[in-house]
């Protein structure tokens, strides 16, 4: 099944569509902007350069290799982050937020933030804003990650090998967790401004599955708003009028410098167009 697709012809159309996809503080739709429409909805740990899939070897101990790399990261980073979250999913989200390749995919509760990421780069390529309605929310205080050697990993190994200890269907068990929402505390101002949330992918190399939403039969859980390359510059300037720019998305010295550089480039471009 393919997601519903809408090609955005003008900014007003985009605003009208956003009225149909409301985040409701995380109980509704998530938004993700991608600068290239051709990119799949796959987290970093599932992409070609990082994909340590469960099928590289057949022995149980090599499963969940992305989580083994996450474990390795936690041991290396403790001196820099002594207050690393103790709950597994929250710690994984913290790692994702700081650039580690994980099985989490970044989303936002703010559609304007997603729009920013869809237009900021690759001006000659169509971008995309994805709208996603999660079917399950992970309890980050209770749920455990199947890190190698853990009880959770033992359970998942049994599911993968035998279809589950209670005879449950393997595909149904994986599908229940694939694409589940992960909402944590905001770790810093960047995450707070971006209204950051995540989805978890089982396995990491699998894109989101398109299906009916759990709350509105006949409505798909994934929609894509196609942003033509020709509209990117106008949209970015429009977002800047709303205060959604590099300085807001990355609220630090580097972000402000990047925003001022963008303003400088715009001044030069306008001056040259007048000349």
Rounded Cα gap, residues 45 and 205, in angstroms: 7
What are the tens digits of pLDDT across the range 65-92?
899 899 999 999 988 888 889 899 999 9
Rounded Cα gap, residues 37 and 128, in angstroms: 5
Residue with tokens 């304007």: 112
DSSP string spanning 50-109? T---TTSSSSGGGSSHHHHHHHHHHHHHTTT-TT--SSHHHHHHHHHHTT---SEEEEES
The average confidence (pLDDT) of the chain is 89
The secondary element (H helix, E strand) that includes residue 14 is helix 11-20
pLDDT at 61: 47
- pTM higher than 0.85: yes
Spatial contact of 35 and 120, defined as CB atoms under 8 Å apart: yes
pLDDT at 163: 60
Q: First CA to last CA across the chain, in angstroms?
A: 51
Question: Could you tell me which residue, 265 or 165, shows the higher pLDDT?
Answer: 265
What are the tens digits of pLDDT across the range 176-216?
889 999 999 999 999 999 999 999 998 898 899 899 887 77
Q: How many CB atoms lie within 10 A of CB 214?
A: 12
Residue 272 clears pLDDT 50, i.e. is over it: yes
Q: Residue 263's pLDDT band (boundaries 50, 70, 90)?
A: very high
What are the tens digits of pLDDT across the range 16-31?
999 888 887 777 899 9
Residue 238 clears pLDDT 70, i.e. is over it: yes
Range of 161-170, 217-226, 227-236 with top mean pLDDT:
227-236
Q: Residue 53's pLDDT band (boundaries 50, 70, 90)?
A: low
Rounded Cα gap, residues 205 and 55, in angstroms: 11
The secondary element (H helix, E strand) that includes residue 32 is strand 30-34
Range of 79-93, 154-168, 255-269 with top mean pLDDT:
255-269
Mean pLDDT of 127-135: 96
Q: In degrees rounded to 5, what are phi and psi of residue 225?
A: -100, 115
Mean pLDDT of 101-105: 96
Range of 44-58, 211-225, 237-251 with top mean pLDDT:
237-251
pLDDT at 60: 46
Q: Residue 54's pLDDT band (boundaries 50, 70, 90)?
A: low
Spatial contact of 32 and 122, defined as CB atoms under 8 Å apart: no
pLDDT at 56: 46
DSSP string spanning 181-234? EE-----SHHHHHHTEEEEE-SSTTPPPPP-B-SSSTT-BSEEEEEE-HHHHHH
DSSP string spanning 134-173? -S-B--TTT-----TTSHHHHHHHHHHHHS-TT---HHHH
pLDDT at 153: 81
Q: Residue 275's pLDDT band (boundaries 50, 70, 90)?
A: low
Tell which residue, 64, 44, 43, 61, has the closest CA to residue 53: 64
Mark 76-85 as b/e (b = at least 16 C-beta within 10 Å).
eeeeeeeeeb
Beta-bridge mates of residue 7: 226
Residue 164 clears pLDDT 60, i.e. is over it: no
pLDDT at 168: 55
pLDDT at 170: 66
Extract the tokens encoding 150.
């853990």
Which residues have C-beta within 8 Å of that of residue 141, sequence separation ≥ 6? 87
């Amino acid at each position: 099944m393919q997601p519903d697709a809408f090609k955005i012809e003008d900014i007003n159309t985009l605003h009208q569509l956003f009225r149909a996809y409301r985040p409701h503080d995380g109980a509704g739709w998530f938004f993700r902007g991608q600068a290239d429409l051709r990119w799949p909805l796959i987290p970093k740990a599932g992409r070609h350069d990082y994909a340590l899939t469960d099928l590289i070897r057949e022995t149980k101990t090599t499963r969940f290799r992305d989580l083994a790399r996450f474990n390795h990261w936690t041991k290396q980073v403790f001196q820099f982050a002594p207050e690393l979250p103790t709950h597994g999913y929250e710690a994984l989200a913290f790692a994702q937020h700081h650039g580690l390749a994980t099985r989490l995919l970044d989303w936002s509760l703010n559609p304007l933030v997603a729009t920013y990421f869809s237009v900021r780069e690759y001006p000659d390529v169509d971008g995309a804003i994805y709208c996603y309605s999660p079917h399950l929310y992970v309890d980050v205080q209770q749920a455990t990650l199947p890190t190698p050697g853990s009880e959770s990993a033992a359970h998942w190994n049994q599911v993968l090998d035998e279809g589950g200890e209670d005879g449950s269907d393997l595909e149904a068990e994986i599908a229940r967790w694939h694409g589940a929402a992960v909402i944590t505390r905001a770790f810093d101002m960047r995450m707070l401004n971006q209204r950051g949330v995540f989805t978890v992918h089982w396995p990491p190399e699998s894109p989101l599955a398109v299906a009916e939403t759990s709350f509105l039969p006949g409505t798909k859980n994934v929609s894509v708003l196609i942003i033509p390359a020709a509209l990117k510059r106008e949209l970015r300037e429009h977002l800047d009028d709303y205060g959604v720019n590099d300085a807001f998305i990355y609220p630090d010295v580097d972000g402000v410098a990047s925003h001022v550089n963008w303003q400088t480039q715009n001044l030069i471009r306008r001056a040259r167009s007048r000349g």
